[in-house]
Amino acid sequence: MIKKGLLIVISGPSGAGKGTICKEWLRRHPQTVLSVSVTTRPPRPGEKEGINYFFRTPEEFEKMRGENEFLECAEVYGHAYGTPKKYVQQHLMAGQDVILEIDIQGALQVKDRFEKGVFLFVVPPTMDELKKRITKRGTEGRDVILKRFHCAFEEINFIKRYNYIIVNDTVEEAVQKMEAILLAEKCRVDRNEELILQIQGGI
């Protein structure tokens, strides 16, 4: 039997460092599939089609949404983002773990549609740290930064819908916690129905 993969949803306020954690995770676990989102946002310098995002026009995006092709989709800072459902399901069925790095709005939609996912909420060690991280990125204007900071404050309240909280003290520790969480989840009784049937059949 092929064991189905796990869907790992890594989320949290903007600036918590989830991107860095994902990058380090994928460096250590190259067999994990990173879900690539569809977006209407124009590419930033260096971003590549099919690697960072699938870049689509608003019209193309709407067509996909109409055909129910997203596991989640949301508008963030004026642009649409969506996770292609088929892409994720194909990899899970093939036994590969899939990691979704998405904003909180998106994560909550996935939670409604795919509650067997593992939902990780990443927070910075302190809220001051969050403020620093949000403001020091420096590629956007003041309005965007303020808006993002305000969202971070509001969104933290959704933490209770997640399974795990990861305090991002260091990337090293955060990734170690993720490794533990994945191994533990794979031992959960409710994820091992086939194994339990096998054991019961053997007695």
Q: Which residues bind its own copies (CB under 8 A)?
A: 121, 123, 126-128, 152-153, 156-157, 159-160, 162-167, 176-177, 179-181, 183-185, 187-189, 192, 195-196, 199-200, 202-203
Specify the residue, 23 or 161, whose C-beta has the smaller distance to its own copies: 161
Q: Are 88 and 7 in contact (CB under 8 A)?
A: yes
Q: Phi then psi for 105, rounded to 5 degrees?
A: -55, -45
R_g over Cα of the chain: 18
Min dist CB 109 to its own copies, Å, is: 18
Specify the residue, 93 or 195, whose C-beta has the smaller distance to its own copies: 195
User: How many beta carbons lie within 10 A of that of residue 24, not counting itself?
Assistant: 15
Distances (CA, A) of 160 to 49, 55, 97: 34, 32, 24
Min dist CB 100 to its own copies, Å, is: 18
Specify the residue, 15 or 82, whose C-beta has the smaller distance to its own copies: 15
Cα 55 to its chain centre, rounded Å, is 18
Specify the residue, 90 or 198, whose C-beta has the smaller distance to its own copies: 198
Min dist CB 160 to its own copies, Å, is: 6
